[in-house]
Amino acid sequence: MAQILSSSLFLIGVAFMLIAAIGVVRMPDIFMRLHCSTKSATLGVGCVMLGAALHFGEFAIWARAVAVVTFIFVTAPVAGHILGRAAYLARAPLWEGTLSDELHGCYSPETHLLHSPPEHLRPGVERDTRH
């Protein structure tokens, strides 16, 4: 039973990594590529490590696998956020199909300060559209 479960975790992890690789190649801009790579690769590494821990079954391997999965789950989203922010601030081109840029007008390249959007553009604020 443990072999079937560990093999299933390996296959699921490899499938997530394959999806991440295809997404990095196929997506049109850096922000979508980051989304694919961080989410899918994180889940892929997690499944593969847990499959390996289940396959070997020793406590030391379980402890290392859980430590690696925890480290990946904490650092990969932070790294993706930092890379995305750096790409946005470096004015990486958005895909032409992008519908909105919620940070447009909120960043000052001269002072490198990011401020909140005006009150009427904040999410959850009722907009008066009766004009």
How many Cα atoms sit within 13 Å of 17 on the Cβ side?
12
Q: What is the CA radius of gyration of the chain?
A: 20
Helix (H, G, I), strand (E, B) or coil at 87: helix
Q: Quote the number of domains for the chain.
A: 1
Percent of all residues in the chain with a pLDDT value above 70, rounded to a whole number: 89
- Chain segment 79-114, per-residue pLDDT in tens: 998 998 888 888 888 888 877 777 777 777 777 777
Q: Is residue 23 part of a domain?
A: yes
Q: In the predicted model, is pLDDT for residue 130 greater than 60?
A: no
Q: Is residue 46 part of a domain?
A: yes
Q: Is residue 128 part of a domain?
A: no
Both tokens of 103, joined, read 């940070």
Instruction: Give the pLDDT band (50/70/90) at residue 128.
Output: very low
Q: Is residue 120 part of a domain?
A: no
Q: Is residue 85 part of a domain?
A: yes
Instruction: Give the pLDDT band (50/70/90) at residue 131.
Output: very low
- What's the CA dihedral at 82, 26, 7, 65 to 10 degrees? -10
Q: In the predicted model, is pLDDT for residue 7 greater than 70?
A: yes
Q: Which residue has better confidence, 90 or 128?
A: 90
Q: What is the residue range of 64's domain?
A: 2-93+102-114
Q: Is residue 123 part of a domain?
A: no
Q: How far apart are CA 72 and CA 89, in angstroms?
A: 25
Q: Is residue 80 part of a domain?
A: yes
What local confidence, expressed as pLDDT, does residue 99 receive? 78
- Chain segment 13-52, per-residue pLDDT in tens: 999 999 999 989 999 988 889 988 888 889 999 999 999 9
Q: Is residue 126 part of a domain?
A: no
